[in-house]
């Protein structure tokens, strides 16, 4: 099938300390836990055992995704691949919620508003001000970006909008060249990418959860349309367990 279709692999980073502590991570940098590093290594082995060798790699600018990618491609025995990093693959910016535990936010604002911030397509959490240290303008990684591109808070709709140009200009370009392409990113940037791939509505994406550390394979036709909508997890049992874990924490 890899020879007849274009293969796209999506991988949410391994468990980070933010995941373990049930914190809104967003654009803040959190390292992988030991479990997260093990998940990244296992993902690489699963990719290798599936007979896949990524020839193109795309990650966000956040350490947890970059480190997951390094571990996974080493285990997959990938060499000579092209690698790109982009802020457009970053996790959703959670504004003033970043760095706070979900339980504290739920307690302060109530379960209903908390749930809408988590799952609404259009609603963004409270924004941070330009002087707040959590605003991306204070991070050297984004110094070259136009100020209007730097979010102070994002909805999933905003994530989808900033991801679309990268999908069209970078990821799709590798797929057109028939390179097996690995994207290592985050729960919400990958949900947004799945929206683009599968044509999901805002209502359908509310129930989509992406587990940490389990590769999701899409085989795409010449029009870059999924042969199997939703793709196929290379480790179905691990994916089901991971999705249940994500859902139990209220989604990511």
Among candidate residues 15, 58, 91, 186, the one labeled active-site is: 91
Element (H, E) at 219: strand 216-220
Q: If you search the block for the tokens 């795309």, which residue do you land on?
A: 58
How far from each other are the two terminal CA atoms of the chain, in whole angstroms? 32
Catalytic residue among 13, 58, 135, 186: 13
Q: Is 75 a catalytic residue?
A: no
Q: How far is CA 61 from CA 104, 117, 123, 160, 237, in A?
A: 27, 24, 24, 17, 29
Reply yes or no on whether 122 is catalytic: no
Are 73 and 169 in contact by the 8 Å Cβ rule? The answer is: no
* Structure token digits, residue 50: 């599936």
Q: In terms of DSSP H, where are the helices of 76-171?
A: 102-109, 111-119, 156-166
Tell the residue number behind the tokens 């990418």, with chain if given. Answer: 193
Residue 133 vs residues 93, 95, 106, 151, 220: alpha-carbon distances, Å: 13, 11, 23, 13, 41
Q: How far apart are CA 142 and CA 136, in angstroms?
A: 7
Which H/E stretch holds residue 85? strand 82-85
On whether the CB atoms of residues 39 and 22 are closer than 8 A, the answer is no
Centre a 10 Å sphere on the Cβ of residue 148 and count the other Cβ atoms it contains. Answer: 6
**What residues are annotated to the active site?**
13, 91
């Amino acid at each position: 099938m890899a020879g007849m279709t274009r293969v796209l692999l999506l991988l949410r980073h391994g468990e980070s300390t933010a995941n373990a502590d049930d914190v809104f991570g967003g654009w803040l940098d959190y390292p992988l836990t030991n479990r997260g590093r093990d998940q990244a290594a296992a993902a690489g082995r699963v990719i290798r055992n599936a007979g896949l060798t990524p020839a193109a790699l795309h990650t966000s600018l956040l350490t947890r995704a970059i480190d997951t990618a390094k571990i996974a491609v080493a285990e997959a025995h990938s060499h000579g691949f092209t690698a790109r990093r982009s802020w457009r693959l970053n996790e959703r910016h959670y504004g003033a919620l970043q760095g706070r535990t979900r339980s504290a936010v739920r307690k302060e604002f109530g379960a209903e508003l908390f749930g809408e911030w988590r799952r609404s397509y259009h609603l963004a959490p409270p924004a941070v001000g330009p002087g707040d240290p959590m605003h991306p303008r204070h991070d050297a990684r984004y110094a070259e970006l136009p100020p209007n591109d730097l979010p102070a808070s994002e909805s999933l709709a905003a994530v989808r909008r900033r991801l679309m140009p990268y999908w069209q200009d970078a990821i799709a370009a590798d797929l057109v060249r028939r390179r097996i392409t690995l994207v290592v990113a985050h729960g919400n940037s990958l949900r947004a990418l799945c929206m683009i791939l599968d044509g999901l509505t805002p209502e359908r994406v509310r129930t989509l959860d992406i587990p940490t550390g389990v590769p999701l394979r899409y085989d795409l036709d010449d029009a870059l349309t999924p042969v199997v909508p939703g793709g196929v997890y290379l480790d179905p049992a691990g994916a089901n367990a991971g999705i249940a874990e994500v859902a139990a924490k209220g989604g990511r």
